[in-house]
Amino acid sequence: MTTPAPISDFDHALDAVCTAHLGGPLKNCARLSGGASQESYSFTCADETFVLRRPPGGIAKTSGSNALSMTDEARALQYVHAAGVRVPEVVYICQPDDGLGPGYVMRFIAGQTIARKILRDEAFAPVRPQLAAQCGQMLARLHALDETQIAGLPHSDARGELEKYTKILRDHGHPHPVFELAIRWLGDRVPEATTTRLVHGDFRLGNLMVRPEDGVVALLDWELAHTGDPMEDLGWPCVPSWRFGQHQNPVGGFGQREEFYAAYEAAGGSVDRDAVRFWEILGTLKWGIMCTMMATAFISGTDRSVERASIGRRASETEIDLLRMLEGQD
């Protein structure tokens, strides 16, 4: 006869939240895979499935992070959901005396987020041609919202982002001529945003919940939301690394730029193609620098995880991508 595993403090704390706020005791709690910076747990309560999202171990992020606090992220989601954008519905924001750390509970949404499956599995073949248009429509609705209604949003603009990553690269201390070339190119072409809007900040496959029967059903992972140039959200999914090998389809590996832009404009948005191009190239540079930092963390022994090594080795891929983009080949 096996002995049941002891109930943890975490289980007790989550059970108390379920009983007090969600209509019943905790059942079927399990850690979900995925999520590079936060942890998620699915669980059942009163015959409904929910997801708890919180920082690793329930420990709040450091003050140096650009990410929203969990409370601000939850409140942003509540506003965006109420405005009709397809995002998870937040039903409870964790309180300090809950014993769970900062976080929030949202209703579970069924679907797939793994890019490889969305782009290659036969089940998604019928819906893939619709994804670019759906993404354009979703972003237009998002960018039409009143960003002043969301507290705690940081501001980010093109020049500030370029300066930030230039400093990160140069503080790193190792020569990267291709990155320096891209910095010079971008510095000569910094767009002046004509409007400031709510920007998701990480709009790409991996953060989109997709179902074979109806396509994009939710936009996830709002920790990098901020106010800024809405063209940033149109450029980021076109970064070559976010095409996941499907380079014939520059929008996320599933669509063409013009159908993406046309859907955005038909839904009320306005596309500045030069600005989007700037954000595509800046996004590629940013990801390349991030990969370089991960490689350094692995080589130095600061973080010897396989994830750091596997991502860090992709820095050279971004250099090739940048050269192609600067030559107008992408």
DSSP secondary-structure letter at 203?
Answer: -
| DSSP states of 162-202 | HHHHHHHHHHH-S--HHHHHHHHHHHT-----S--EEE-S-
pLDDT score, position 1: 41
**172 close to 293: Cβ distance less than 8 angstroms:** yes
> What's the mean pLDDT in 106-114?
97
pTM, whole model, 2 decimals? 0.94
pLDDT score, position 2: 43
pLDDT score, position 6: 56
pLDDT band at 35 (very low <50, low <70, confident <90, very high): low
Per-residue pLDDT for 291 more than 60? yes
Tell the residue number behind the tokens 């987020």, with chain if given: 113
> What's the mean pLDDT in 60-74?
83
CATH architecture of the domain formed by 115-326: Alpha-Beta Complex (3.90)
> What's the mean pLDDT in 301-329?
93
Looking only at the bridges linking them, the beta strands covering 27-31 and 104-107 are: unpaired
Q: Which two tokens stand for residue 59?
A: 């420990």
pLDDT score, position 103: 97
Question: Residue 100: CB partners within 8 Å, gap ≥ 6?
Answer: 10, 13, 14, 17, 52, 54, 58, 94
Selection from 327, 322, 124 nearest residue 217 by Cα: 124
Lowest mean pLDDT among 4-13, 120-129, 314-323: 4-13
Helix (H) or strand (E) holding 15: helix 9-17
Per-residue pLDDT for 64 more than 70? no
Mean pLDDT of the chain: 94
**140 close to 268: Cβ distance less than 8 angstroms:** yes
Can you tell me the distance from the alpha carbon of 142 to that of 158, in angstroms, rounded to the nearest whole number?
A: 19
Percent of the chain with pLDDT over 70: 96
Can you tell me the distance from the alpha carbon of 219 to that of 77, in angstroms, rounded to the nearest whole number?
A: 10
The model's pLDDT over 121-157, given as tens digits with 9 standing for 90+, comes to: 999 999 999 999 999 999 999 999 999 999 999 999 9
pLDDT score, position 5: 46
pLDDT band at 174 (very low <50, low <70, confident <90, very high): confident
The model's pLDDT over 216-230, given as tens digits with 9 standing for 90+, comes to: 999 999 999 999 999
> What's the mean pLDDT in 280-301?
94
pLDDT score, position 63: 56
Q: Which residue has the higher pLDDT, 33 or 119?
A: 119
Lowest mean pLDDT among 25-34, 116-125, 278-287: 25-34
CATH architecture of the domain formed by 9-107: 2-Layer Sandwich (3.30)
* Domain range summary for the chain, segments of one domain joined by +: 9-107, 115-326
> What's the mean pLDDT in 34-59?
91
Per-residue pLDDT for 281 more than 60? yes
E strands of the chain, at which residues? Answer: 27-31, 39-45, 48-54, 90-93, 104-107, 197-199, 208-211, 215-219, 226-228
> What's the mean pLDDT in 280-289?
98
Three-point CA angle 224, 136, 214, nearest 5°: 100
Per-residue pLDDT for 256 more than 80? yes
> What's the mean pLDDT in 168-177?
93
**58 close to 102: Cβ distance less than 8 angstroms:** yes
